[in-house]
Amino acid sequence: MQRFLRLRDFDWVLMALVFLLSALSVLEIYSATINTKFHGFESKQVLWLVGGTAAMLLLSFIDYHVLLDVIHWIYGFCIVSLLVVLVAGQKVLGARRWIRVGAIHFQPSEWVKLILIIAVARYFTSLAGRELDWKDVGKAFLLVGVPMALVLKQPDLGTALTYMPVLLIGLFLGGIGWKKALIIACAGLILIVPVWRAGLKPYQKARLTSFLSPDADPRGSGYQIRQSLIAVGDGGVWGRGVAKGTQTQGDFLPIPYTDFIFAAWSEEHGFVGAVFVLLLYFFILMRLIQNAQTAADLSGTLLIMGVVAVLIFQIAVNVGMVVGLMPVTGIPLPLMSYGGSSVLFTFLALGIVMNVRMNRFVN
């Protein structure tokens, strides 16, 4: 009886929005791959969505305080898994990012986002009630910096960047003073030069600069952004229709079922379709923030806002990349892009959100 009472407290409005966006994802993956060797990925996406929903339901019934209590063990396991990737991970296109288990490719770096959300929430909850000093800030940077450095080593710049919003929202809600925040911001700006010179590979630099002038190398580093902009513009107001986009179906748009799925969607459904998807994201994020406001304690608020920070970052970077306002980083669009690791992360994160929501009246 208790379980059914808790299910009543599920955020069914949020889930309706999530499932609607997921259905649009399956439709676009089907359309984008219908004339390619990747046709059938929509069926795999459905399986990932079913598995993600089951994982979300399971996690929603595990008290999030239990996760906070054991997060140090889980964090350690994740560090070990990232080290295993560097030593024995499967190498694809010059990068070691996956561990292969049978027919399944497992990407630990995606799961680290969820672990960091929990770890950062636990850390700043333990500091509640006092102003952060430099030692506290340093520990927070170390907590996020270690897995971030290991992911950069793979190399996977896009995924590593998604860890930063978790740290920033933790510092903000943890009560960092504005003077310390200003010093950190200035230090970050100063570090851009040495990181650019010594920390990035040539192809990463090309990706980061090509969006400023894609026409400078239209067949090289600027190709992806150029084709994406053509696809978005080709959609017009109402779009060309399902499986009728010339850029998508003509195989000009690169990987239209993952990184550039929003460009494929915009070409086939136009400005109206693009705005509709963005509104769905807006309502989902507003619903998440509302749940954070009603959380029973600070740790619950930090958990949900960590999820919000990651989703906002991924949406902003992916959509910005598609319309030429951000560099190409390979960051997937949540609930739209094809990929098991991304889908499972999102639904597990939603499971934590539901967990916090259902425990908001528990003393």
Per-residue pLDDT reduced to its tens digit, 159-180: 888 999 999 999 999 888 889 9
- Which residues make Cβ contacts (< 8 Å) with residue 196, sequence separation at least 6? 205
**Range from 90-99, 166-175, 279-288, 339-348 carrying the lowest mean pLDDT:** 90-99
d(CA 61, CA 358): 9
- Once rounded to an integer, what is the mean pLDDT over residues 132-159? 90
Q: Tokens 């089951």 belong to which residue?
A: 54
Domain ranges, ordered by start, for the chain: 2-358
Distance of alpha carbon 259 from alpha carbon 97, whole angstroms = 16
In the chain, the percentage of residues whose pLDDT exceeds 90 is 50
Tens digits of residue pLDDT in 95-109: 667 777 666 666 788
CA distance 343 to 45: 8
Question: Do 260 and 322 form a contact (C-beta atoms < 8 A)?
Answer: yes
- pTM comes to 0.91
Q: What is the pLDDT of residue 37?
A: 78
Residue 201 has pLDDT above 80, yes or no: no
Enumerate the H helices of 98-245 as residue ranges: 108-126, 134-152, 157-161, 164-174, 178-194, 202-210, 223-234
Contact criterion met (CB below 8 Å) for 235 and 209 = no
Q: How is residue 196 annotated by DSSP?
A: I
